[in-house]
Amino acid sequence: MGAREVVLRLEGITKRFGKLTANDDVGFALHRGEVLALLGENGAGKTTLMNILFGHYTADAGTVEVFGQALPPGAPGAALAAGVGMVHQHFTLAGNMTVLENILLGTRPLLAPGLGRAAARARVEQLSRDFGLAVHPDAKVKTLSVGERQRVEILKALYRDARILILDEPTAVLTPQESDALFETLKKAVAQGLSIIFISHKLHEVTAVSDRVIVLRHGRVVGEVATDQTDRHRIAEMMVGAEVALPHPALGTPGAALMELRDVSTPPEGNRTGLRRVTLSLKAGQITGLAGVSGNGQGALADLVSGLIAPDSGELRVAGQTVAGWSPRAALAAGVGRIPEDRHATGSIADFTLTENAVLEGYARPPFSRAGWMDWTRARAHAEGIIEKYDVRCPGPEARIRLLSGGNMQKLILGRALEAGPKIILANQPVRGLDIGALTYVQECLIAARDAGAAVLLISEDLDEIRALSDVIHVMSEGRLSPEFPRGSKTPAELGQWMAGQGFSDAA
Amino acid sequence: MEIFDILVSASFWAAVLRIASPLIFATMGELICERAGVLNLGIEGIMVFGAFAGWMAVYAGLGLWPGVLVAFASGALFGLAHATLTVPFGLSQHVVGLGVTLLATSSAYYAYRLALPEVTSPPRIEPFQPLDIPVLSDIPFLGEAIFSQTALTYLAFATVLIVALVLYRTPLGLALRAAGENPSAVEAQGLSVTAIRMGAVMVGSGLMAVGGAFLTMSAFSSFFFEMVNGRGWICIALVVFGAWMPGKALLGALLFAAFDALQIRMQQTPLGAEIPYQVFLMVPYVLSILALVLMSRRAEVPAALMVPYNRGER
């Protein structure tokens, strides 16, 4: 491998945000026709590093060389012109414009007389075929699935003759089938002499697609190995600095039912499934796992538990009392701690500080406010407590939460929910998109909360997670809820049949 | 029935086009700004200043077309002020826009007083004259209604076509729309969001000023205080009505102008003697609000409208 051409070289990259050092003297080389995996936990500095390489951020120190030429810092145009294409974790697409328009953006001089749509469409269709990236050029981007949007991003890079492709956590948002299609595309790209940097924290993917692995931790390069010289176990150790153990919690001891649903139905909203005569009992000291294919009523159940919607028919009992006038505030008052599915849209306010986000649910009560006045000193102390206890990596409590990586944002939301001493915890996809360290931590926190007597409702599409953590399991299908299955009483295949709608008494 | 008689008269439709012209210029100007992601509330004041600057230039001895250019340039200058504050500095577009309106309006009145300290009634200029298009203007009805307008009215309609072509058929238009939808997408392609947005605001403001100049150089022949009279605000509504699309916005401008022309004529009917004239004045605004509500429900707002863009922020 030593004789292969180096297409990209980073040396001594250092970048600080306030007190946080995101990258500390990072350097490595990428060879022609190679897939280099860049691994690291959330907040290890992967995304920052790529943003520097691509000119979105200016490094405090260090150099970037592409094909032997130094790139001027802070100039995205230069990296593009040098043949580097980046597929960001958050896509840079305009939703109200078509696929073709998004691809064409910036490819012609601004004052050129026309767009040359016909020729461009032909070229896009050719690239789609060559790399296996099926997407309709005239579709509006907002109508596309996440997987299709990613293909548009890759097509954008290929259309610009990129020789180096950087993919930032490309599979975090994809279904397994879409991920497989992506890996096929990457193989085709490498076969055509492209080089790829693949940023991820999913070990099985990294070992499947990469030739070489570089591990970042706390902004530094802590390891570099050829993929075929190592195994997942050793890579995981390098990432977190210690061996990872998946949780095998003992069964909890169930107590009183803290929240009960009896024959509860809710109407469908738009294309979202409603609940159909759901009967469910959330007991103290028990994790109730909810399995099912996404979109089968989990959203409605989560909204019901968190108070966003009320039952249309049926009975909702909290702590043994029938509830009337169910609302988010009533849910909070009843001790429901909420870890929402979408931490960006409903879990946090991006432009608020960590302090403000930390008291979003408790701001109206002492100690955070008295007689209608906020006590910011206590709020800040509360935020600092969460940051400390839940290991939220951030520049400080006054930083806006949008600056945090997904895992750190999730830890703050987790801390906010748990520190309020909830009796009932709604954990909706709590570990989606998290790295191993954060994932294990969140799961351990849920188990600890259960052991302290909380009733936990765990909603997840990951059957392994459900089967490992839950004391009892329900399956949802088309708004209906299966009977309660004790942990270990059903095989994954049997649960899968319930997920597909078999076994329910009222056949649809 | 009077309404029917009004609607079938060619002079009514000629009036519609005339009333619509300033709205069309200014609406296209606002549309360009908003498509690039900048709400320009300076529109009302910029129209006032454009009305003054174009008229003053002609009064001072320039020709009519150079006068239009002067108006455009004055608008672009206020646009530059607006864009400097809202784009690179990222200040509130509402506050800056209202500030520009106040500044431009009072600058126009102040300059007027400085230039003509002694006059009680403003002097007149020789405005644009109706230009009969050969052959077409001889067509019965249509000729009088459409093809006997002043050059500026023809230019207003041409502007819609040009704006639509640039927006949808050129790389520049693509970049401009993308700057209003997702500026990071523009930046990721190595283009400058700042340059695109500032350029759009300057050109857009220039068009607003030409819209104002239409009032003093084509519709009337002199400059009065209060002559713009809220047309700028109507244009902001028209952009929404048109769902940020030039063709639909043109339709909106024509619709508003038709209501306006209709109410003027209704005031002179027997009905007008019974109902206070203020009710008629109100009609176009009420109907516009209704049409706005009905039309804009499914509109696609530029996603990054009013969102300042700062590089290096997530």
pLDDT confidence bin for B165, thresholds 50/70/90 = very high
Whether the CB-CB separation of B185 and A102 falls below 8 Å is answered with yes
Minimum mean pLDDT among A242-246, A291-295, A395-399, B205-209: which range?
A242-246
> Of the candidates A92, A106, A112, which has its C-beta nearest B182's C-beta?
A92
* A226 touching chain B per CB within 8 A: no
Which ipTM did the prediction report?
0.81
Q: pLDDT value at position A434? A: 73
Residue B148 has pLDDT above 50, yes or no: yes
Residue B187 with chain A: CB contacts under 8 Å: 56, 76, 92
Q: pLDDT value at position B209? A: 98
Q: pLDDT value at position A240? A: 62
* B151 touching chain A per CB within 8 A: no
Nearest CA in chain B to A76: B190
CA distance A24 to A443: 30
Beta-sheet pairing, A472-477 with A313-318: unpaired
**A132: β partners:** none
Cβ-proximal residues to B16 (8 Å cutoff; 6+ apart), any chain: B254, B257, B258, B261
* B184 touching chain A per CB within 8 A: yes
Please tell me which residue, A316 or A45, carries the higher pLDDT value. A316
> Of the candidates B181, B186, B312, which has its C-beta nearest A56's C-beta?
B312
Contact across the interface for B171 and A403, Cβ inside 8 Å: no
Contact across the interface for B178 and A97, Cβ inside 8 Å: yes
* A110 touching chain B per CB within 8 A: yes
* B162 touching chain A per CB within 8 A: no
* A56 touching chain B per CB within 8 A: yes
* Among A60, A98, A110, the residue to mutate for chain B (most B Cβ within 10 A): A110
**A84: β partners:** A164
- Decide if domain B2-115+134-296 falls under CATH 1.10.3470: yes
Residue B167 with chain A: CB contacts under 8 Å: none
User: How far apart are the CA of A161 and the nearest CA of chain B, in angstroms?
Assistant: 13
How many whole angstroms from its chain centre is CA B104?
15
- A463-501 per-residue burial string, b: 16 or more CB within 10 A, e: under 16: bebbbebbbbbbbbbebbbbeebebeebeeeebeebbee
Contact across the interface for B185 and A94, Cβ inside 8 Å: yes
Residue A100 with chain B: CB contacts under 8 Å: none
Contact across the interface for B184 and A76, Cβ inside 8 Å: no
* Among B177, B189, B245, B306, the residue to mutate for chain A (most A Cβ within 10 A): B189
Q: pLDDT value at position A461? A: 75
User: How far apart are the CA of A314 and the nearest CA of chain B, in angstroms?
Assistant: 35
pLDDT confidence bin for B261, thresholds 50/70/90 = very high
* B302 touching chain A per CB within 8 A: yes
Residue B105 has pLDDT above 80, yes or no: yes
Share of chain A above pLDDT 70, in %: 95
Tell me the count of A-B CB pairs closer than 8 A: 88
What pLDDT, in 10s, does the model give residues A177-187?
788 889 999 99
Share of chain B above pLDDT 90, in %: 67
Residue A54 with chain B: CB contacts under 8 Å: 188
Average pLDDT of the residues in B265-270: 84
Residue A228 tokens, joined: 């075929």
What pLDDT, in 10s, does the model give residues A435-451?
777 788 888 999 999 99
Cβ-proximal residues to B259 (8 Å cutoff; 6+ apart), any chain: B283, B284, B287, B288
Please tell me which residue, A133 or A500, carries the higher pLDDT value. A133
Contact across the interface for A105 and B184, Cβ inside 8 Å: no
Nearest CA in chain B to A113: B170
* A89 touching chain B per CB within 8 A: no
Please tell me which residue, B287 or A399, carries the higher pLDDT value. A399
Nearest CA in chain A to B171: A110
Please compute, for residue A31, the number of CA atoms within 13 A of its CA located in the half-sphere on the CB side: 12
Contact across the interface for B175 and A88, Cβ inside 8 Å: no
CA distance A277 to A473: 18
Average pLDDT of the residues in B205-228: 95
Residue B312 with chain A: CB contacts under 8 Å: 56-58
Share of chain A above pLDDT 90, in %: 42
Nearest CA in chain B to A403: B314
| Average confidence score pLDDT of chain A | 87
Q: pLDDT value at position B4? A: 83
Please tell me which residue, B98 or A238, carries the higher pLDDT value. B98
Q: pLDDT value at position A271? A: 65
Residue A2 has pLDDT above 50, yes or no: no
Average pLDDT of the residues in A118-125: 93
Contact across the interface for A93 and B185, Cβ inside 8 Å: yes
In this structure, what are the phi and psi dihedrals at residue A316, rounded to the nearest 5 degrees? -115, 120
Average pLDDT of the residues in A42-64: 84
Whether the CB-CB separation of A404 and A412 falls below 8 Å is answered with yes
* A259 touching chain B per CB within 8 A: no
Q: pLDDT value at position B311? A: 65
- DSSP code, position B219: I
Residue B302 tokens, joined: 């530029």
Please compute, for residue A492, the number of CA atoms within 13 A of its CA located in the half-sphere on the CB side: 8
Contact across the interface for B182 and A109, Cβ inside 8 Å: no
DSSP B92-123: -HHHHHHHHHHHHHHHHHHHHHHH-SS-SSPP
State the helix-helix crossing angle for B246-267 and B277-295, rounded to 10 degrees.
Answer: 160
Residue A245 has pLDDT above 60, yes or no: no
Contact across the interface for B172 and A93, Cβ inside 8 Å: no
* A242 touching chain B per CB within 8 A: no
- DSSP code, position A353: B
Task: Sketch out chain A's domains with CATH numbers.
Answer: 2-240 (3.40.50.300), 247-335+422-508 (3.40.50.300), 348-420 (no CATH)
